[in-house]
Amino acid sequence: MTSRIRRWVETDTGHRVPNHKSKCRHMHGHRYRWEVELEGEVVTQSGVSEEGMLMDFSDISEILNKYIHDVVDHAFIVYESDEEAVAALSLMGDEHRTLTVPFVPTAENLAKWAFEQVDTHIKTSYGNSLRLRAFHVRETPKSWATWYSES
């Protein structure tokens, strides 16, 4: 039997969807929630810190902070082919936090990106078949996107 756990961080992050038919084509921001979902067997090794867990929540938080929060919080995510936005952001100088990505920064694409940033860092030493099952990105309180592991 497997168990699943989730842990999340939140960021204030800007983006735009340059070809969008409505207002999302404008530069704007969201209070994003970046939520990791892990799956595996509960650690049964007696006496270890993770006994009874899949992975320590604080270890998950460290990963999310390093590879997601610290990269995109108070930053602007811009599609590399969005020439207008790239040009505008370049005027802000090197102090401006800009993350240039090779995709349109929709919630769906950001969920896939976040999954890829975190996946290789999810591991334990206890043989509990731990894996990153999914990454959920909440763009607004009513709007979520998820990228699932194919296996």
Residues 97-136 have pLDDT tens digits of 999 999 999 999 999 999 999 999 998 778 888 999 999 9
Q: Closest Cα partner for 38 from 141, 144, 132, 135?
A: 132
pTM: predicted TM-score of the whole model, two decimal places: 0.94
Residue whose structure tokens are 């020439």: 83
Tens of pLDDT, residue by residue over 35-90, are 999 999 999 999 999 999 999 999 999 999 999 999 999 999 999 999 999 999 99
What pLDDT does residue 10 have? 98
123: Cβ contacts below 8 Å, ≥ 6 apart = 130
For the CA atoms of the chain, what is the radius of gyration?
A: 17
99: Cβ contacts below 8 Å, ≥ 6 apart = 71, 72, 75, 76, 77, 78
- Say whether pLDDT at 1 is over 70: no
Give the tokens for residue 81: 């082919």
Please state which of the four CATH numbers 3.30.479.10, 3.60.20.10, 2.60.120.10, 3.90.180.10 is assigned to the domain occupying 3-148: 3.30.479.10
What pLDDT does residue 19 have? 94
Instruction: Let me know if 131 is exposed, middle or buried by CB neighbors in 10 A (0-12, 13-18, 19+).
Output: middle
What pLDDT does residue 60 have? 96
d(CA 134, CA 28): 26
Catalytic residues: 24, 69, 139
What pLDDT does residue 151 have? 67
Q: Would residue 90 be called left, alpha or beta, if left means φ above 0 and alpha means ψ between -120 and 50 degrees?
A: alpha
